[in-house]
């Protein structure tokens, strides 16, 4: 029997909120993690663009 984590979406939202790209990070890997966490946390797709821009370094 497989048990799901009842706090899965809350944990994903916490990780999503903390996610921030560093200048040294690979953008494709960052984008993949961003997309995965946004889906797991059930972030509305209409807010993804704004959320993504806020998580990028200013110098990018």
- pLDDT tens-digit map of 17-58: 999 999 999 999 999 999 999 999 999 999 999 999 999 999
Listed by start position, the domains of the chain span: 8-55
Can you give the pTM of this predicted structure? 0.86
Angle at 53 between CA 32 and CA 60, to 5 degrees: 85
pLDDT of amino acid 22: 96
Residue 18 phi, psi dihedral angles, 5° rounding? -80, -15
pLDDT of amino acid 2: 64
Range 9-17 average pLDDT: 94
Range 3-27 average pLDDT: 92
**Are residues 25 and 33 in contact, defined by beta-carbon separation less than 8 angstroms?**
no
In the predicted structure, residue 4 carries a pLDDT above the cut 80? no
């Amino acid at each position: 029997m497989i048990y799901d984590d009842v706090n899965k979406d809350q944990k994903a939202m916490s990780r999503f909120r903390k996610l921030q790209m560093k200048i040294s990070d690979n953008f494709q890997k960052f984008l993949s993690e961003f997309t995965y966490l946004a889906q797991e946390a059930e972030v509305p797709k209409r807010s993804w663009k704004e959320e993504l821009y806020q998580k990028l370094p200013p110098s990018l």
